[in-house]
Structures are given as C-alpha cells and as structure tokens.
Amino acid sequence: MELRSMREWHRPLMVFTVAMAATTVLTAAGLVLDDRVLLGVPIWLKPFKFAVSLTIYALTWAWMLTFQNRWPRLGWWTGTVIAVAGTLEMVAICGQVLRGTRSHFNVATAFDGMVFRVMGTTISVLLIAHFVLGAVLLVGKYADRASASAIRLGMLLSGIGLALGVLMVLPTANQLATGITDTVGAHSVGVLDGGPGMPVTGWSTTGGDLRIPHFVGMHALQVLPLLLLALTAAASRVPLLADVEVRRRLVRVAAGAYAGLLALITWQALRGQPLTEPDALTLGAFALLVLATALAARKALVPQRVLEHQR
C-alpha cells in the first residue's frame, strides 16, 4: 500500500484536518480549565472526542483520494463537502458547549431544536458524501488487490458505522409514551443518558450504548488499511506474507471479523447491555466469532499455489 506525498492529498480535507487538530488542543484545554459538568461528564469531553475522531477521519479521506482514478472533480467536490459538513457539525457542538447546554438530542427551545436539526442535516450530508467517495474509489488505482480490498472494505464498514448513528436520534419508547418535551433520542439503551460511564469514552456501564457500534464501525476506515500496512511491513520477515493473495485473503478475513464484531456490539447495545458486562449469550456469540475468524485466517495463510494444486 502506497503512502504518497502529502502534496497530493486533498487540500480542503487537509485544511479541515489541521483545524480539527487545533480544536482537539483547544477542547483538551477546556477539559483542564473549565470545571463545568453536563450529564455527569466534563462539558468539553464531547467536542474533544468529536475533534479527535474527525481529525483521523478527514486525514484518512485526504490520503485515500490520492488513489482516485476517475471522476476527479466529483471526488474533489465530495471531499470538500465532507470538510464543510464536519466544520458545521463542530461549530454547532462547540457553540452549544459555550452556551452551557447539550448539542445532541436537545429540543428544549426553538433555537436548540434548530441546532439539532442542522446537525442532523450535516451528518446526513456527510454520510451521503462518504458513500459517494466510496463509489468513486471502487475504481481507484491501487498498488495491488490487497490494497484495493483494504480500502474498499474499510469504506463500506465505516459507512455502516456512520449509518448506525441514526439509531440514536430515534425517539425512545419512553419518549413516545410520555411525549417529547426537551429531548428526542438517546445514546443509552435501558437507562437514561448521563449515568455512570467508562473513563474517557463515557460509554455507559449500566446499560447499552449505541455510541459504541457507531465509533467502532466508523473507524474501520483506518483499521483495515493499517492492518494491511502492518502485513506488508511484516512480509520481509514472514515469507508467507510476501504473497499478495495471502495478504488480500487476510484483509478479507479481518473485514469479516470486523463486520461480525460490529453486529455483535450493536446487538448487545440494543439489548440494553453494557459493553463491560456481557451475558452468556453475548460471550458465546463472541467465542463463535473468534473461532470462525481463527479458522478462516488459517485457511487464508495457505499459499495460492497450494490452493490451486488442491483444486
């Protein structure tokens, strides 16, 4: 997999990346200097997490667009749309923090409701742009079939992870039963938002949390290409990995395992179960996933010439 000169990387996305990196520093300072708490967590924690995530997301797309082979104007404009949509999202989140109130699920006032609708629109636009770039890069110019698989499957799983965010904006059963007043949607399942959570991430430790599959799925965009880079780097020490078909099959196994894990943690969250307290059913499903992955990886490690001889 090639790491081309950064001068070839998508310029608007690189500008957005720098802006989000700066926002990461500023929001980290907010965590230290501002002692306000919202829903049980430091008020600057959410924009800090979003800034980190968007920095990584934008940087990855800026690099991936160097593999574009067709429709250069469509790719450039779609990447620019992602940068603009991400900027609007962060402005809304940070603006609400400065006001001392929630950005997500907040419809307490007409202004808050308008901000939340704008955020919903920007994320919808970003999701559409994600899949448009995915279509553009289906016919990218890649070094080999392993690179193509890593990028294409990473884009697909990442798009699914982004789409899972829709589950959080749907009204909960309790909101539908009692009527929507100041909140619509939630990231927790089975408990109210703002309860005990894991360090740094804030993911619920008392109920399900839909932020987990959203986060895990979204960052498949980085995980699969990084895995391939690691496999390629290891090829000099592990002769078997020098076979590009072995690397491609391992990437596909990893993508299948990632998809299975994404489905599992989504199912776990929807059942109102904390990530840290899986029940026997969840553990059993996870064990089956690990076993299936191990068997598939073992088969993937068989050199291509051996497979052809077996046929």
What is the value of pTM for the model shown?
0.90
Residues with Cβ within 8 Å of 288's Cβ and at least 6 positions away in sequence, in order, are none
27-57: burial string, b at 16+ Cβ within 10 Å, e else: bbebeeeeeeebeeebbbbbbbbbbbbbbbb
**Bridge partners (DSSP) listed for residue 204:** 197
Strands (E), the chain: 37-38, 41-42, 188-189, 208-209
Closest CA to 203 of 37, 45, 44: 45
φ, ψ for residue 175, nearest 5 deg: -65, -40
Cα separation, 45 vs 105, whole angstroms: 16
DSSP 301: T
Query: pLDDT tens digits, the chain, 311 residues: what are they?
Result: 555 567 778 999 999 999 999 999 999 999 999 999 998 889 999 999 999 999 999 999 999 999 888 888 999 999 999 999 999 999 999 999 999 999 999 999 999 999 999 999 999 999 999 999 999 998 888 888 999 999 999 999 999 999 999 999 988 888 888 877 788 889 999 998 888 999 888 899 999 999 999 999 999 999 999 999 999 999 889 888 899 999 999 999 999 999 999 999 999 999 999 999 999 999 999 999 999 999 999 999 887 555 444 44
pLDDT of 308 reads 47
Tell me the two tokens of residue 29: 């300072």
Cα separation, 1 vs 140, whole angstroms: 13
Tell me the two tokens of residue 68: 């574009």
pLDDT of 181 reads 78
Classified as helix, coil or strand, 197 is strand
Identity of the amino acid at 301 = L
pLDDT of 305 reads 55
Region for residue 197 given its phi and psi (left: phi exceeds 0; alpha: psi -120 to 50; beta: otherwise): beta
Contact 272, 207 (CB under 8 A): yes
